[in-house]
Structure 1
Amino acid sequence: MSKKRMISVVIMVVIFIGGVAIFNRNELQSTFLAKDKEGGAPVSSNKIAVQVISPQEATQSEGLYYKATLEADQEGIISSKTSGKVISVLFDDGKQVTEGETLVMLDDQDIKNQIKSAESQLEVSKASLQKTEASLENIQRSYERIEILAQQGVVAQAELDNAETSLKMIKADIASNQANIQAAQTNIDNLKTGLADMIIRASITGVMDEKNVSLGQFLTPGNVLGKVKDISLIDAVIEVDQALIQTIKIGQKARVKLNEDDSDTYEGVVKSITPSADPASRAFKVKIQVNNEKLLLRPGVFAKAMLIDDVKVQKFVIPVALITGKEGDYSVFINDNGVVKKLAVTLGNLVNNQAEIKSGLQGNESIISTNLNMLQEGDEITVVSE
């Protein structure tokens, strides 16, 4: 049972017992008054008889084990960027691959044929450009000669105009050929990029998982073929209650093991803390990054993670039944020179019905252990035993 539910159950039990205690209190008061009338020792009916205990110093432990789920620190999705038929699959789940390694090959014959055709068209465009550029030289010289003659009045203006038109047309043809060459080169570059995409490679170094491709399958852009997971680093994901999240810091040391009895432990540090709590559980997700060079830890399995307190703070334990209040607002009643005083406390671990008090007690208090539901802060009490 979780700490939250256990404390809630205990508080309900205490309330029930308190109801009985109130009834007993009334009877006790009647009895004391009767004794006083009969000549017995006078007893004040305004003071409540209680017992008290002292908090016990807690054994310093390294921390509390949380349930954890292991995840790959990094993963890459393997997908197709182009359409094509699968002609080769070079991986299975569990295979260790390196970044850039070939995983799947698609039929590339059609795109190779398109590249050859585009390259031929490029050569035609280049040849046409050379021919046009050669004509440009002759037409340019003819225009210059006619222009001089026209200035001398030897030829008519109409002949000069015709020569100028021819020059403009040949220059336009050259520009068109140059544009055709550029378009052909761009087409070839795109086809070669598409050809490279016919080989699907590992995006990162890691272990293959979730294979989803087979020979003969026709792929379209975006088809997910599997995942490659980098498990040289593993994230142990735990959930921490809102009452304890303030005690956890980025970079805090931690240990991870597959179960509490496992002798093999893995050192780690807190990598991240979600900025908001889960709306249902009111808990925060904390990721602990663990070195997994030997690849003994695997994603998807359960483990135990323990957060280590670098700063040792003196802590005490008391029976959980002595704690009142609700989550985030727990307190205990103490004897302050015959008067009830309420102290706020912060809880830690909960073991064998003993609650660890992380803050709020100095260790020298007399904690009231009986008749709790009959008490209010400021009531006068009589201590009958410790």
Structure 2
Amino acid sequence: MIKGIKKSKKKLAVLLVIIIALFIGKIAFSGKTNKTTATSKSKVSIKTQKVQEATSGAKATFKASLEEVQSGDIANKVGGKVTQILFENGKTVTQGQALVKLDDTDVRNNVSSSEAQVSSAEAQLKATENQVTSSELSMQKMQTSYQSAQRDYDRKKALYDQGAISKSEFESAEDALKNAQSDLASAQNSIESAKLSIETQKANINSAQVNLNTQQNSLQNTTITAPISGVMDGKNVSVGQYVNIGTVLGKVKDTSSINAVIQVKDTDLAYIKVGGKAILKLDTENSKEYEGIIQNIDAVADSSARVFSCKIKIDNKNGELKSGVFGKVEIETGTTKKSMSLPTQALGGSEGNYYVFVNNKGVAKKCTVTTGEVSQDNVEIKSGIRAGDEVIITNVSTLLDGEAITVVSK
């Protein structure tokens, strides 16, 4: 029995030794695996670009608001009820294009009445002119009769003075001359009166024609047209509405060119000149640049802000620029500055918290940077790195500070 117990203890001891050996082996194998994993982790392949400092023309930046070069109100010159509206906001119109129509029934009646008045006055003038012509013909006959009576009187007076004819014969010739003279004077007065009537009737015709022209203009004004070519805005009218004279029914804006308006200090006037060039950018996301010409600078500064309003004219035939939008304007100062720039793809983070990674002897080093102007696909770096630094330009979004890297292209 004792021999059996010893044999069991021996087996237990062997089993224990085996368990311990397996446990130690597992630990050793696990450590070896972790070590192998840690040492076999691959480095991140990246591309880099060396930072270089460049000298360029210095630019001043100004906030700008965009506005149309010119605009015109759509207003009526006659009152009336709106019967048709021929425009909508945002619609492009041309100068003279019909936009609103008013009820023209009464005005057309007034035109017809005025035309009748003109026709009547012209007919009266024609009749009076015919009367004058007839009177002038009659006066010619009377002139002949008067001349004949005068000759007869002169002859009979001579005979009477010689006692060759009776007094009654002489007096008869004298009466005939007086009657012919009276008839001639009456005809002359009639002609003068008719001529004065002609002048009055001509004045009446002019007055009737002026009234007709006024009514015709009113008829024309019942169709309200665009004062300039441009884009419609501010629609303020509806069909059936009665509009009084001068009511603003909308606005047309000429946006074929756009003014970028900036405010400049007196110290800026040293390099901001009429006729000079300027560049407009809408925002940091839209890198497109719009070239403009400085159109005018106010002669007097704003009394409160002490700044001068400056307008920069920009071609906008494609309609990309909209009035009421804000942007920024860059104008060269005539001086130079040194700057560093990087591809925008090298930049990580968000506005106010941008960073880049620099190759620090095979390790990615995260550097906070301050950015400046954005141009095309490059961004100006004002601080955070130095000229000569090797900046990582790929895998920026997935890199970690201190991560091992391998440069595959510079």
Q: TM-score range by the shorter chain?
A: 0.5 to 0.7
CA contact (8 A) 1:252 1:308 kept: no
Aligned to 1:222: 246
Return the alpha-carbon distance in structure 2 between the equivalents of residues 172 and 63 of structure 1: 80
Aligned to 2:289: 265
Q: How many aligned positions are there?
A: 263
Deviation at 1:159, TM superposition (A): 3.0
Q: Does 1:250 align with 2:274?
A: yes
103-112 or 118-127, which deviates more: 118-127
Match of 1:296 among 310, 314, 320: 320
Equivalent residue of 1:243, what SS? helix
Deviations 1:69-127 (A, max 9, x none): 11001212221122222211111211111111111111111111111111122222222
Aligned to 2:223: 199
Larger Rg: 2
Aligned to 2:196: 172
Deviation at 1:220, TM superposition (A): 2.7
Q: Would the alpha carbon gap of residues 260 and 240 (structure 1) be closer, same or farther in structure 2, given more than 3 Å must change?
A: farther
Q: Does 1:106 align with 2:106?
A: no
CA RMSD of the aligned region, Å? 2.5
CA contact (8 A) 2:278 2:331 kept: yes
Equivalent residue of 1:306, what SS? strand
CA contact (8 A) 2:57 2:337 kept: no
Deviations 1:8-59 (A, max 9, x none): xxxxxxxxxxxxxxxxxxxxxxxxxxxxxxxxxxxxxxxxxxxxxxxxx995
CA contact (8 A) 1:210 1:227 kept: yes
Q: Does 1:231 align with 2:246?
A: no
Equivalent residue of 2:123, what SS? helix
Q: Identity over aligned residues, as a percent?
A: 39
Q: Would the alpha carbon gap of residues 163 and 241 (structure 1) be closer, same or farther in structure 2, given more than 3 Å must change?
A: closer
Higher percent of residues as helix: 2
Equivalent residue of 2:318, what SS? coil
The one-letter code of the counterpart of 2:70 is Q
Q: Would the alpha carbon gap of residues 244 and 179 (structure 1) be closer, same or farther in structure 2, given more than 3 Å must change?
A: closer
Return the alpha-carbon distance in structure 1 between the equivalents of residues 198 and 336 of structure 2: 89
Match of 1:140 among 136, 149, 155: 136
Aligned to 1:213: 237
Aligned to 1:185: 209
CA contact (8 A) 1:260 1:304 kept: no
CA contact (8 A) 1:245 1:284 kept: no
Return the alpha-carbon distance in structure 1 between the equivalents of residues 221 and 337 of structure 2: 62
Aligned to 2:77: 81
Return the alpha-carbon distance in structure 2 between the equivalents of residues 280 and 304 of structure 1: 23
Q: Does 1:121 align with 2:145?
A: no
Return the alpha-carbon distance in structure 1 between the equivalents of residues 70 and 293 of structure 2: 16
Deviations 1:238-291 (A, max 9, x none): 111222222211122211121134222211121111112112221111111112
Deviations 1:292-341 (A, max 9, x none): 222121111111111134x4x34589xxxxxxxxxxxxxxxxxxxxxxxx
Return the alpha-carbon distance in structure 1 between the equivalents of residues 73 and 211 of structure 2: 29
CA contact (8 A) 2:271 2:332 kept: no
Q: Would the alpha carbon gap of residues 170 and 269 (structure 1) be closer, same or farther in structure 2, given more than 3 Å must change?
A: closer
Equivalent residue of 1:72, what SS? strand
Deviation at 1:62, TM superposition (A): 4.7
Return the alpha-carbon distance in structure 2 between the equivalents of residues 234 and 62 of structure 1: 25
Gaps of 5+ in 2: 1-52, 151-175, 340-372, 374-380, 384-410
